[in-house]
Structure 1
Amino acid sequence: MISIVIPVHNRKDYTQQCLACLSIQTYRDFQIIVVDDGSTDGTTEMIHREFTDVIVLKGDGNLWWTEATNWGIRYAQQHQNSRKTNFVLTLNDDTRVDTNYLQTMLDAYQTYQPCLVGSVSVDSDKPDKLEYAGYAGSEFELRTAGGRHVAADYGFSYQELSRQVAFVESQSLPGRGTLIPMAVFDKVGLFDSKRFVHYMADIEFSIRARKAGYRLIVNASSVVYEFVSATGIQVEKGVSLKQFIDGFTSVKSPTNLRVRYNFAMAHSNSKLLYFAFDIGRICAGFLLRKIGVMRHT
């Protein structure tokens, strides 16, 4: 049984499209748990009307991604059939998937277990544009905040990735389409909603799972089509200096200083040195992008 956990907030159209894709999966032993964290746009009403089998848990708008996801996992734990092998699939609502998506995830798990299975992410508007295909690095990366996204190794082309490999072994996995055996939560706990309220909880959890002995596999045939413009603050796009600085304190920002500090303290041997390198890398990237824009104007 796969319990698909989807946190949502005021994105009814995205949620509707995501649920429609899941409703026609070839693999049928699954349940969908939507955690609606205080939507006011009729999301819950739409789900009750159009997707009657979907379980909806209602929050008050203060759960954010991490605790909303934990709500869904706890529900799945409490209602699981102990006679089956149970999984949680974390998924965002600003995505769509092919009809065989769940089957490809399970097939990958059977091949590479014990593992967590992540998805390849592509741009929904440009399906060959590879957004994510794993993360390359080493234990040393957790000292200097280095490493790279594997997508670059294939020229950011999904066609090239799928031609060359069946899977990529990653150093971490995002929550945007990751299949997690239920036993992993018993071993390492849930997502850390105290230190990572909205961003980096998925990455931090996957690192804990890897340290506990689980492989982190990105399956080349498991594709998530991502609506790139809907994925929160786009730090790599043309943000202003004020927006960049505000991102250091915003819950909605992946560059939130408290979150980056908490991650450094939790997983880096060098701790403050890692934090300094991490923030330095973020600032340098912003400055280089600004210089690039100025050169082309």
Structure 2
Amino acid sequence: MTHLPQIAFIIPVRNRRNYTNNILTQLTWQIKQENRQGVSIIVVDDGSTDGTKEMIQTQFSSVFLIEADGSLWWAGAIVKGMEYAINALEADYLVWLNDDICITDNFINNLIKICDSGNYDSTVVGGIVLDQTYTDWIVYSGLKDRKPVSHINAFSTSDELEADVLCGNIVVIPRKIVEQVGFPDTVKLPHHGSDYEYSMRVKKAGFRVIFSCNLKASTDYTISDFTRYMPYWMQWYLQPDLASRWKIIKGLTSLKANQNIWLIVNLHSQNREKQMIPIWNYLFCYINKVIRFLIVDFLPKDYIQSRIQNHLREQNPPAAIIEAVIQRKVISEKERLI
């Protein structure tokens, strides 16, 4: 009898009960429709206080629930799930999945095809997440040639693309790669950036890292979501009120912020291989960023706006998003003049 690869989803959650309920409903229904044994779901609940645990226990009895105390963050929760998938479930493929997405109707079918084919046992496969309003716009994928894959047309000639790094929203990892490369680094990058660092490590070990448009999902991506991934100095320029700027400064030392100094320092090419990074590196990074913020207000407006326009072209969002981002700056400036 042919051995069917064991597939384990790993979903880190915390205080997003409605999102968690939605993704589990989609997954359990599709798995049931496929009638394929060996597909499991692991949820790592990192200290939710909104009834997430009780909801899972009551409505999704087939889900393997791992409880934590709120100290894991994303990377710690992912590692807990990966360890359980390998040691308890003997999974052959581990699938990272965020809970705030809606998977396509053929998602599980396509995932099973990838895992059962035998062609990806040495390849990490990343999916793509599209915006629910602008359905051709890819809002989460990763980087290829140091640029984001941001439009579905990127897959016009092939269902797959080579990747530099992957976002952790949808990632399929063969067990054999985990056994050689290890787990995400929960110490250096406990939250943001851990997915990027892990895919870099996988590539350095000689394995393929690719995007597949066969693993698709969507999400409600807001203008605020878009702007918070822009370089901090651009956010500083676009949000000139003191409260917003103070939030940006605080974000430099917050694990919740996607551009904190730990991420910036540890993902720098000179530091990725270092086990210990001197504290002064982080201090220098912090001071450097703050100085850049202060300088922005004194640089020629044409120069700043040109840099922002170049960034927006590279990110390739819909025209309406570009207009909304620029309009926020215009409105803010008008408010200051009133």
What is the alpha-carbon root mean square deviation over aligned residues?
Answer: 3.2
Report the alpha carbon displacement of residue 107 of structure 1 after superposing the two structures with TM. 3.2
Which shows bigger deviation, 167-176 or 283-292?
A: 283-292
Report the alpha carbon displacement of residue 175 of structure 1 after superposing the two structures with TM. 1.2
Mapped to 2, the partners of 1:233 and 1:37 lie a distance apart of 27
Match of 1:197 in 2: 190
Seen in structure 2, the aligned counterparts of structure 1 residues 259 and 161 have a Cα distance that, compared at 3 Å, is: closer
Match of 2:248 in 1: 244
User: 1:61 aligned to 60, 65, 70, which one?
Assistant: 70
Match of 1:150 in 2: 149
1:41-190 correspondence to structure 2 within 5 Å: 41-81=50-90, 86-108=92-114, 110=117, 111=119, 113-137=121-145, 147-151=146-150, 156=151, 158=152, 160-190=153-183
Structure 2: stretches of 5+ with no match in the other structure: 1-5, 298-303, 309-324
Report the alpha carbon displacement of residue 10 of structure 1 after superposing the two structures with TM. 0.3
TM-score by length of 1: 0.81
Is this contact kept in 2: 1:135–1:148, CA < 8 A?
yes
- The yes-or-no answer on 1:36 pairing with 2:45 is yes
- Identical-residue share of aligned pairs (%): 29
Indicate the structure (1 or 2) with the bigger Cα radius of gyration.
Answer: 2
SS at match of 2:58: helix
Match of 1:235 in 2: 229
- The yes-or-no answer on 1:21 pairing with 2:14 is no
Report the alpha carbon displacement of residue 226 of structure 1 after superposing the two structures with TM. 2.4
Q: Which runs of 4+ in 1 moved over 6 A?
A: 230-233, 282-287
Report the alpha carbon displacement of residue 168 of structure 1 after superposing the two structures with TM. 1.1
Q: Deviations over 1:163-200 (max 9, x none)?
A: 33311110011111100001111101111000001111
Match of 2:205 in 1: 212
Match of 1:225 in 2: 218
Which shows bigger deviation, 13-22 or 118-127?
A: 118-127
SS at match of 1:5: strand
Structure with more contact order per residue of length (Cα contacts < 8 Å, sep ≥ 6)? 1
Report the alpha carbon displacement of residue 221 of structure 1 after superposing the two structures with TM. 1.8
Seen in structure 2, the aligned counterparts of structure 1 residues 16 and 197 have a Cα distance that, compared at 3 Å, is: same
Mapped to 2, the partners of 1:96 and 1:205 lie a distance apart of 24
Which shows bigger deviation, 223-232 or 37-46?
A: 223-232
Is this contact kept in 1: 2:141–2:167, CA < 8 A?
no
- The yes-or-no answer on 1:5 pairing with 2:10 is yes
Seen in structure 2, the aligned counterparts of structure 1 residues 126 and 24 have a Cα distance that, compared at 3 Å, is: farther
Mapped to 1, the partners of 2:133 and 2:63 lie a distance apart of 27
Mapped to 1, the partners of 2:138 and 2:252 lie a distance apart of 27
Is this contact kept in 1: 2:141–2:166, CA < 8 A?
no
Q: Deviations over 1:244-274 (max 9, x none)?
A: 2111111111111022111221169xx98xx
Matched residue type, 1:135: L
Mapped to 1, the partners of 2:109 and 2:9 lie a distance apart of 13
Mapped to 1, the partners of 2:96 and 2:263 lie a distance apart of 20
Seen in structure 2, the aligned counterparts of structure 1 residues 170 and 266 have a Cα distance that, compared at 3 Å, is: same
TM-score by length of 2: 0.72
1:277-288 correspondence to structure 2 within 5 Å: 288=305
Q: Deviations over 1:86-117 (max 9, x none)?
A: 11000111111123213323434544552101
SS at match of 1:24: helix
Report the alpha carbon displacement of residue 52 of structure 1 after superposing the two structures with TM. 0.8
